[in-house]
Chain A
């Protein structure tokens, strides 16, 4: 094998990704060419040094407090931007609590085909019904308390969310019937029905909250319900116009 050809193949040779036949030809050349032999040895020395570098290097400071603060400040939830309350009574046919439930309608994994996007949305809607039903079973020990406790909003914030819900409801109402939309009439009916159930749950929670406006957990439940409704409506409105 020619010297210039071997030079080109040297990286692949030391990486061990040449075919047996070609590798043997390179090896044969190395036995007679000191320059290539030395070059291969130097490559290997560099590779060994690189492979020996530590895989872990600790940051100079603990980054967790800042990461946690950002997560709490942005109110990010890993559950497809929706916080599912624990101990929610199961709706017949709804997925059981656990991993499968949490995987419903992952935002980044929503497939592009409309019917599959619709399935994700329908799953989210069912999930929301289960979630909203939990509004009647307050004062439970919540595994989301760490997220929720520092974020209990005031009355103004709740009223703001309610106003936002009204706005996105209008957006949804306009988008769902648009020509070329991704949602079939049946899907729109299902979502509307679920939204009505959520509204009923919100109304019930609002009543309880009006009686105990200083109860932080009731405040949080009302807020969360409004937020989730707003998020579902935003998504439904986008899907409704095929975005």
Chain B
């Protein structure tokens, strides 16, 4: 698993070239400018929160993790070399933070002797103000087993390749494929597609 967050490029479907203003904000933030960092936060918070919310299926956890992502990003800004966009870089931190949280949940689950992790996604999506179809899908995703959920979100929602997912999560790309197949079959069954 590559520990360098600024390492290989993980271009996703929203990847776009950073504007000069954004690049300037990154440089300012690297110099300790919290106001510039706040602008970076506001540009990226929605996307990071969406990721954390889908990964955990829990609104409170997602907000905690979103905070953690940006605190970690601030701490590591000096390691950001600009080889990818800031959005990509901070997204990768978001994936790592979410995975850490899921692993911690699994450890708790094992310690408490629970059979499976069922995130409390039911109420999470009730007030999202979205269409029924979208909510059904969001809820169904939140009920997936963690491994399948992570791969489905990264592959089908975010558009990462199996190789990227393998790099990010530390699983083999074959495992990623198997988890994706599992996720799709479970979702089709759950949604009666």
Contacts and interface: CB of A to CB of B under 8 A. Distances in A.
Interface of A: 11-12, 42-43, 45-47, 49-61, 63-64, 66-68, 70-71, 76-80, 83-84, 98-99, 102-103, 106-109, 143-144, 146-147
A55 B79 contact: no
A109 B50 contact: no
Given A59-B45, A83-B32, A49 B137 contact: yes
A49 B133 contact: yes
Contacts of A77: 32
Using C-beta atoms within 8 Å of the partner chain, give the interface range for chain B.
Answer: 35 or more
A144 B157 CA distance: 39
A-B CB proximity, top 4 nearest:
A56-B46, A78-B77, A50-B156, A57-B50
B188 interface: yes
Interface string B127-140: 01010011001100
Given A55-B50, A102-B30, A144-B32, A109 B4 contact: yes
Given A50-B157, A55-B50, A63-B66, 15 more contacts: A50-B152, A51-B13, A55-B47, A57-B50, A59-B62, A63-B49, A68-B34, A76-B74, A78-B74, A78-B78, A99-B30, A102-B31, A107-B76, A109-B6, A147-B32
Overall SS of chain B's interface: helix
Contacts of A66: 67
A220 to B, nearest CB: 13
Nearest to A86: B31
Contacts of A70: 67, 71
A79 B46 CA distance: 26
B184 interface: yes
A63 B46 CA distance: 11
A43 B187 CA distance: 10
B133 A59 contact: no
Contacts of B172: none
